[in-house]
Structure 1
Amino acid sequence: MKITYCFLSLFMIAYQLKCQSLYNDYKSESKTPAYLDEFDDNHNQWEDQSKEFTINIKNGCLNFKVFENGGKTKIRTITFFIDEKKDFELETSAKIVSDQNPIQLCWGYDNASYYSFILSPNGSFQISKYDKSRPSGNRYVDYTSYIKSNFIDNKNFNKITVRKVESQYYFFINENFILNLPFQSFFGNNLGFVVEENVSAEFDYLKVQYLNSKQTINIKNDNNNAVKNSKANSDVDINIPETKINNQNTYCLIIGNEDYSTYQTGLNSEINVDFAMNDAKIFKEYCNKTLGIPDKQVKLIINATTGQMNQGITWLCNLAKIENGNAKIIFYYSGHGLPEEQTKEAFLIPVDISGTDVKLGIKLSNLYKSLTEFPSKKVTVFLDACFSGGARNQSLISMKGVKIKPKNEIITGNLIIFSSSTGDQSSGVYREKQHGFMTYFLLKKLQEKNGDVNYGSLKEYLIYNVQKETGLDGKIQTPQVIISPQIEENWETYNMLK
C-alpha cells in the first residue's frame, strides 16, 4: 500500500488532538473477552511463508516480515465474527523492527476491502480504508492524513486500540486518545495485520472484547478540566414497547445519514443532518421490539455511502423476490435529499456524494421501481428528508434562497410513502426530542399504541402533530402520504404490526 500524504480536509476530527478521552472510561470489569491470541503457539494457523514473506510465531510474538522487492503489501487475517451492533474494543501491541514502511491493524476485512489503523516508523499514524468496490485509483479512503504523535514509541511496542461505542469509533495509542470517527459497517468478518514491502514487524497479542455497560466518555481539555459528553434520552428512546408477535416475513432497511463532512472535503459540520443517526437507531429498536421483526431481517446502515446504499437496496429486493409475494417491506431513510435542478427529480444523497453531483445519488423513482419489482404484500417507505434544497441545518448546496418543488413520481404496486414534508418545504428537527419531526411522531405513535397502528390513523396523527409543533415555531411542515393507485381503496386499513 502506498503512503498517501494528501490532506482530505476532514472536519470530523476538528483536530481533536487538542483533547483527550480517557482509555479507562471502560474498566476491565466492564469488558467481556471475545477473542485473545497471545501468540504462544500457532493454534490459529497464522504461520505462513513464500518467497515474498514469512510469518512465524516465536517468543510469544507473531513475526511478520515482507522482503524487499516482494512487490506487494501482504495481508494476514483470521476469521472472527465481531457483532458490530454491540460496543466493542479491538487491540494489539505492535513494534516496527525495520524502519522503511508502515504497519497496519486491519479489521472488517473481506475480499481485499478493509479498515486499518496505520503506524508509521516516522512516529505518525493514519486511519484509512481500502474499498475494492470503488473505481481503480480511487480505492484508498484516508480518513486522516498522516499525523505526528508524541504517543508513538518508535523503539518499542505500541498498544493500538480501536474502540467502538454506539455510533463512534475512538482510537488510542498507548492508552492515549488520539481521535474519533463515525462508525461504519464492516465489509466482512476477518481481522489481522497488513505489512508492506521491506518491513519487519512484531505483534505481541491480538484481542477483541465487548464493552458491557454504557459509560460516559470523559473528555479532558487542555486545562485538564473534565467535561462529560452526556445526552438526555428523548421520551421515545426509552420505554420501547415489546411484542410477542414474530413477523417472519417482514424485512427492513434503515439508513441514517448524518455525517457528510467526514466524507467530503471542504464541508463544515453545519451541513450534517442533526440526529439522523438517532432517528435510524431508535427506529430499528422499534422494528425489532415493537413490530416483532427478527434482528437479522433488519439492516441498519449509519452514514451510508453510495455503494452501501445500493447494496442495502439490493439486499431488500432480493428478499422480496425470495418470499414470492409474501414479503412485507419497510424502507426508512433519514438524511439529505436534493432535487436535480433541471429535471426536478428527487434523490437521496449518500454521505460520499456532494450537492453538485446530485445525479450520483439514489434517484427516488429508481428506488420505488426496485422496491416494487417483485410482488409483496405491502411496501412501506418512510422518508425523513426534504427534496427542495432545504435542510435540517444547512443544505449541501447553496440555492441562493430559491427552493425547487420536486417532481411528483408515478408509483405502482402495494407501495405507501410517508414523507416528512410537502413540495418545497424544508424538513426540520425537533431538537428537544433529538429526532426529525416526522420520525419523532412516528415513534411516539408506535409507542402509544404498542405498534398496533393503522396507516390511516398514522397519516392523520403525523400531519396534525408535525404541523402543530412546527407551526408553534413559525414554520409549518406538512408530512404527506403517497399511495399507489392499486391500493387506494384499502391502504388505510394496513397495519404496522400486521
Structure 2
Amino acid sequence: MFGITFGRKNSSNEFSFLISSNGNYKFRKFLNNVNNDIIPYTYSSAIKTGSNEINKLKIVKSGQLLRFYINDIYINETPFQPFFGNKFGYTVYFEREIAVDYLDIKYQTTSYNNPPIVKIIEPSVEVERGFKIVKSKRILVKGVATDVDGIYEITVNGTEANVAEDGTFSANVPLKYGKNELIVKATDLKQASSSKTFIIKRASSNSNPTPIVHEKLDIGFGKYYALIIGVSEYDDKTIPDLNGEPTKDAQNLANVLISNYTFNKENVTVLKNPTENQINREFIKLSRKINKNDNLVIFYAGHGNYDKKTEKGYWMPSNSNRDFEENIILNTSIVTYIKAIPSKHTLLISDACFSGSILTRTRSLSNASNAVKAKYALTSRKAITSGALETVPNKSVFMEYLIKKLKDNSREYLSAGQLFNMIEDPIIDNPRGDKTQRPIYAPISGTGNEGGDFILIRRN
C-alpha cells in the first residue's frame, strides 16, 4: 500500500491514509509502534487501479470529523483524533514507487482563519431592526474592515470599494426607488470573508424622509439557509413509493420560506428523490459556507425506520436497500453533520416514520414568553418532528398545518417554539389524522444546544 502520512511525531507515532493497487484503502493510527486500523481495509471503485494511474487523495478536517476523498469522490469519514505532531510525508511499501505532482495544505475552517470584522460608519444604520430612508439617488457608504491576515478586497453590492491601507473604505452606491439591500463584503488574504447587510430606502420626492424606522431584516440575525429534502420514489421495489407527496411538500415549504420569510432563493437547496451521497454532499457544503451568525433549516420528508433492539434510527434516501440497510443515513450521522455546521441556530423539521428517534429522550418545553433577543442569544439545535417512535400517514396532516401556519402567520418574529404551539393541537385533533400521532419539539442530543430558539423573520 502507499499514501499519505500526517500528524507525525516520529516513526512510531503517526497517522496514515493508504490505498492499494487492487482498489482498497485504509486509515490507520500508529501509536507507540502499535498499528491500529481506524478504518479497516475497504474497497472503493473511486481508486484507479491500472498501471501508472494517478490518484488524488484528500483529507479534510470538518469540525470534529476527518473526511476522506479519492479523486474528489467522498468515500468515508471518522471522528477526529488529536495528532501526535505536525510532520507530513508519504508511505510506500514493497518496492513500490510513487510520484507526487502536487501538494496543497491549507486551513479549512474559520477556527484557524477568522474572517474580517466589518464596521459600518456611514450611513448610521447599525441599529436594531433599522433601515434609513433617503431622497438622494446615491449614498456614500463608509466603514472599516480589520483582519490579522490583511484585507484583500472589499465590495459593496459586488462593486469594489476604495480601500486604504488601514482598512477604511468608501463606496458611492446608486439607489433605486423603494428598498435597496446593500451588502458590504470584506475578504482577507486567505479568502475568508464576512459581510454586513443593511437596507436603504429611497423615498419618492413628495414623501417626508424619516431618520430610522423598524424593518424586519435585522442585520444581527445573519443569513438564513435551508436544506429541504423530499423522497417519494425508491429504486428498491420492496419500499413503497409515496405518490409524490414528500417531494411536493418539500417544494411547498421552500416556496413559503422564500416568499414569506427572509430566506433568499440562492440559499435554499431542494433535493427531490436524492441518493445517500447527494444528501451527504449537501451537508458537507453547508458546513463549509455557513458561519457562526447564520441560521439553518433542515427538512426531511420520506421513509424512515427505527430498530428498537439496536435503537438505530435512520432516513431512507431514494437508493436505500431495505433488506441490508444499505445507503441509509443514520441518526448518528445526522447529529454529526449538524454538530459540524457552525450555525447560530439549526432547526430540523422531519416528517417521516419514527422521526422522533433523533431527539433528546426527555422532552422539555417551556411556554414562557421570552424576548426575541433572549431566545436568539443562545445557540440552539432543535427539531420539530411529525411523530415519535411511530409510523405517520403518507398524506401528511403535519405538513398541511405546518405550511398553513407559516403562510397565515402575521408576526414579525416567529420562534420555532411558537410555530410548534400553533400546529400541535390541530394535528392531534384533526379527524383525518392518527390519534396516536403526536408531533414533538425538543433539543437534538449531542449537538451543542444551549437553550436558545430558532427565529423566523417575516418579509413585508
TM-score normalised over the length of structure 1 = 0.41
TM-score normalised over the length of structure 2 = 0.44
Q: Which has the larger radius of gyration?
A: 2
The structure in which a higher percent of residues are strand is 2
